[in-house]
Structure 1
Amino acid sequence: MGRDVRSVEDLLRVLDGVFAGGGDRWGEEGAGWWDGFYADRERGIPFFVEKPDENLVSYVEGGPVAPGRVLELGCGPGRNALYLARAGFDVDAVDLSAAALEWARSRAEAAGAAVRFHRGNVFDPQAVPLHGTYDLVFDSGCFHHLPPHRRISYLALLDRHLAPGGHFGLSCFASGKMGSEVPDADFYRDGALHGGLAYRPDDLRRIFADLTEVEIRPMRDEPADSPHFGEPFLHTALFRRP
């Protein structure tokens, strides 16, 4: 018999266990799934291309985000991290998957781009030792794979590491186009995340209410010959910390 819950973090770990062994794509339980996902680099996965998100480019090129320190959450094979490094940012990039990071490092070496890659759960400071604050925190595809209770950890991470006046950029599954739309409580009844959570613009406004909205819009659908990545099943958002 265990009576070990005496903090919020203890409770979050208990709730993590609801999804353990279910094949969901987050946390250390999900690292193996993602390693398999990235094992075949020739698969026709849209975000395997070495192109930055179109919204990220819009933030940097003529937009409100100037070069500085950046933290990318769920960097995958490094396409956005490499773009940011080339644009003059000092980049820390985190992912659960060793296979994704191996690919990202090979891309960075070929491009001559300096990026610090970290493997692990970003909520575990021993696995991912982040230091100080960042002028930009960017997430393309990580947030929608988190179980609802880990939004608490996510907001705490932003509170610790997003600098005053800094920006938070996000691309996530758009409600009505991709991702599960069941209520938060149902994920715990099912013990599964059903491939990821869909979000509406008002959901994002409510979750990130402590930040100032700069824009929320659908990601633009970029043609195959575009130098930028864009898929219309995603929402994009940019917030600023006061």
Structure 2
Amino acid sequence: MDRNMRTVEDVLRLLDGFFEPAAGRWDRFYADRDRPVPFFVDKPDESLVSYLDRGLVAPGGRALDLGCGPGRNALYLASRGFEVDAVDLSPQAVAWGEERARAAGAAGVRFRCGDAFALATGPYDLIHDSGCFHHLPPHRRISYLDLLDRVLAPGGHLALTCFAAGAMGSELPDADFYREGLLHGGLAYTPESLRRIFAGLTEVELRRMRDEPAGSPHFGEPFLWTALFRR
């Protein structure tokens, strides 16, 4: 990058350099599919299922699955009539998701590998994020909110799942992440901090994710917040 910064994006890229590049980190994470990681299960979030079953989110339309991983939520959204763009930085995750889609005979999902901030085109009726937001360094909240402004349709929804303070993730002040050059496995949020960050949207629901038993067809862990916002 040119040493003479001229734009906000120049500053954001400079701050990215405080941390390990995310693509390589997530490719290593998804390389071993046999690890007992809860997020590897082929089940949709219980919250996402609940939003659709209760009519809080209408089925169909266009959806963006941010940080889609192996596609468990993207495939569910396609089964409910959505046309889905499923985006992840990790080639390993995207390849796994494509394999799952082929095995299920699923149509309606387009997997894409890369930076969702650059790839997402919109407009989307639903942006779904199960675990992407809490792995972003603090300065990239700017990019996240800009993405919502650009591609979330009027009346559209953001469905968010992220680490809950007091249960999972790091609760350090933002500045400390830059001093240490580490994200400590992800950032934890309080309901108040989420409401402040997403103050430009209307809150529909914010609660702890339900703890789903092993035999449940849905994914649920109580160390997570699940939130639904409407534009």
TM-score range, shorter chain: over 0.9
- For this pair of structures, how many residues does the alignment match? 228
Are 1:103 and 2:96 counterparts?
yes
Question: What residue in structure 2 maps to residue 156 of structure 1?
Answer: 146
- Runs of 4 or more, structure 1, over 4 Å off, are none
The whole-number CA distance in structure 1 between the counterparts of 2:33 and 2:10 is: 38
Q: Deviations over 1:133-181 (max 9, x none)?
A: 0000000000000000000000000000000000000000000010000
| Structure 2 counterpart of 1:89, from 68, 82, 93 | 82
Are 1:32 and 2:32 counterparts?
no
Deviation at 1:192, TM superposition (A): 1.2
Aligned residue identity for 1:105? E
The whole-number CA distance in structure 2 between the counterparts of 1:101 and 1:11 is: 29
Question: What residue in structure 2 maps to residue 64 of structure 1?
Answer: 56
Listed as ranges, the gaps of 5+ residues in structure 2 are: none
Q: How does 1:122-201 map to 2 (within 5 A)?
A: 122-123=116-117, 125=118, 128=119, 130-201=120-191
The whole-number CA distance in structure 1 between the counterparts of 2:141 and 2:122 is: 21
Please give the secondary structure, in 1, of the residue aligned with 2:18.
helix
- Give me the CA root mean square deviation: 1.0
Question: What residue in structure 2 maps to residue 11 of structure 1?
Answer: 11
**Identity across aligned pairs (percent)?**
72
Please give the secondary structure, in 2, of the residue aligned with 1:10.
helix
Q: Deviations over 1:82-107 (max 9, x none)?
A: 00001100100100111111110011
Deviation at 1:3, TM superposition (A): 4.1
The whole-number CA distance in structure 2 between the counterparts of 1:131 and 1:13 is: 21
The whole-number CA distance in structure 2 between the counterparts of 1:55 and 1:63 is: 12
Please give the secondary structure, in 2, of the residue aligned with 1:227.
coil
When normalised by structure 2's length, the TM-score is: 0.96
Question: What residue in structure 2 maps to residue 48 of structure 1?
Answer: 40
Question: What residue in structure 1 maps to residue 113 of structure 2?
Answer: 119
Q: Deviations over 1:212-240 (max 9, x none)?
A: 00010000000001000000110000000
Please give the secondary structure, in 2, of the residue aligned with 1:203.
helix
